[in-house]
């Protein structure tokens, strides 16, 4: 069975793509990009999730383990969480820069509507 968070991630992804394809407003496009970013982040976090898993900290006595320290209870995979922290920070930077450029475009054109920005069309 596919866990529900994968379906959620796919749904978010589709919503983001739909938003990018249909919306003609700079701010809405930025929101669409955010949707996509969070969809990918959610997908990554889901990769590390284990049913009933605990934090992967193995200390003697607290977590049942074999003689070689291999734990007997399911542990969540910490690597995706560490990576996605990085990706979230990158996403934040991207969004801020995108918003800043959108504001500059608004100052030049007086609108957020990309249909009315015709500088690049000859």
Nearer to other proteins, 44 or 75 (CB): 44
CA–CA distance, 32 with 21 (Å, rounded to integer): 9
Nearer to other proteins among residue 20 and residue 63 (C-beta): 20
CB 105 within 8 A of CB 85: no
DSSP per-residue codes, 63-113: S-B-TTS-BSS-B--HHHHHHHHHHHHHHHHHHHHHHHHHHHHHHHHS-SB
Residue 16 to residue 57: CA distance in whole angstroms: 36
CB of 96 to other proteins, least distance (A): 10
Query: Minimal distance in Å, beta carbon 53 to other proteins?
Result: 15
Name the site residues for other proteins (rule: CB under 8 A): 20, 26, 29, 33, 36-37, 40, 43-44, 47, 79-80, 83, 86-87, 90, 93-94, 97-98, 101-102, 104-105, 108-109, 117, 119-120, 122
Please report how close the Cβ of residue 33 comes to other proteins at its closest, in angstroms. Answer: 6
């Amino acid at each position: 069975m596919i866990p529900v968070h994968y379906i959620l991630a796919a749904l978010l992804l589709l919503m983001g793509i739909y938003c990018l394809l249909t919306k003609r407003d700079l701010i809405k496009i930025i929101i669409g990009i955010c949707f996509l970013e969070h969809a990918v982040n959610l997908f990554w976090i889901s990769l590390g999730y284990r049913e009933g898993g605990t934090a992967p900290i193995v200390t003697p006595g607290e977590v049942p383990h074999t003689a070689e320290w291999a734990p007997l209870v399911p542990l969540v995979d910490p690597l995706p969480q560490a990576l996605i922290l990085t990706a979230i920070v990158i996403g934040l930077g991207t969004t801020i820069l995108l918003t800043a450029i959108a504001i500059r475009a608004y100052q030049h054109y007086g609108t957020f509507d990309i249909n009315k920005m015709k500088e690049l069309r000859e």
